Structure 1
Amino acid sequence: MNPVIHFEMPYEDRERMAAFYRSAFGWQTQMLGPEMGNYVLATTTETETGDRGPTQPGAINGGFYGKHPDWPAQHPSVVIGVDDIRAAMEKVSASGGQVLGEPMEIPGVGHYVSFMDPEGNRVSMLQPLPRG
């Protein structure tokens, strides 16, 4: 079984978005630079040192990405952890989903690709790098 390991939501104004979630929910945000697509990491729960993930079972952290006029289905979505992204892409396609492009490498994190499920939901998959 592949678990949900991350959530993602789009933003139009990253400073406004980060300030809102810090103020309303006490989340910590980390603004990444242009080399990482100006992504914003959101820590929503107590996390182990060395970025080894949440300490509470079932809890997840997430992130925010800037909206792009040419990207499909920019809505809140979840990221599913997989052991083998290529095999998971084949399963998604065989099960009636549509993979959106090729996996991209996220330095220090793993390989990531989005897909549309048969209901029109944009979802993503991540094959994380092995934790050491």
Structure 2
Amino acid sequence: MDPVVHFEMPYRDRDRMAAFYSKAFGWTMQMLGAEMGNYAVATTAVSDAIPDGYRGVINGGFFERKDDWPDQYPSVVIAVKDVRAKMKEITAAGGEVLGEPMMIPGVGDYVSFRDTEGNRVSILQALPQGR
């Protein structure tokens, strides 16, 4: 079973988005630069501070909304062992892989796909620990 490990949502104003989620929910944001698409990594929980009953809490991120990008809606990221093998499984199951995997430095290989219902979802093959 491949678990959901991350969520993503688009933003129009990164500073406004970060202020809202920090103020409303206490999340912390790591603002990445232009080389990473001005992505904002959202930490929603620290592993040693997760409340009882909330095992499996995930963190996420926000991407800049672009007029010419498709499928800019909240989505989830699923962890996989082999991103290229999973791309083949997604296609065989009726999904549509959206491009080629991109390497996220310090994280791993990432690619989005559309499921059979038209939802944009992503998969991530994480780098081995300690890299």
TM-score scaled by length of structure 1: 0.92
Q: What letter matches 2:55 in structure 1? A: P
CA positional deviation for 1:69: 1.6
Q: Which residue matches 1:123?
A: 121
Q: Which residue matches 1:40?
A: 40
Q: Does 1:83 align with 2:101?
A: no
Q: Secondary structure at the match of 1:79?
A: strand
Q: Secondary structure at the match of 1:2?
A: coil
- Structure 1 spans left out of the alignment, 5+ residues: 49-53
Q: What letter matches 2:5 in structure 1? A: I
Q: Deviations over 1:64-109 (max 9, x none)?
A: 0001122111000000000000000000000000000000010110
Q: Which residue matches 2:16?
A: 16
Q: Secondary structure at the match of 1:6?
A: strand
Q: In 1, Cα distance between the equivalents of 2:31 and 2:47? A: 17
Q: In 2, Cα distance between the equivalents of 1:101 and 1:70? A: 15
Percent of pairs identical after alignment?
65
- Structure 2 spans left out of the alignment, 5+ residues: none
Q: In 2, Cα distance between the equivalents of 1:71 and 1:125? A: 18
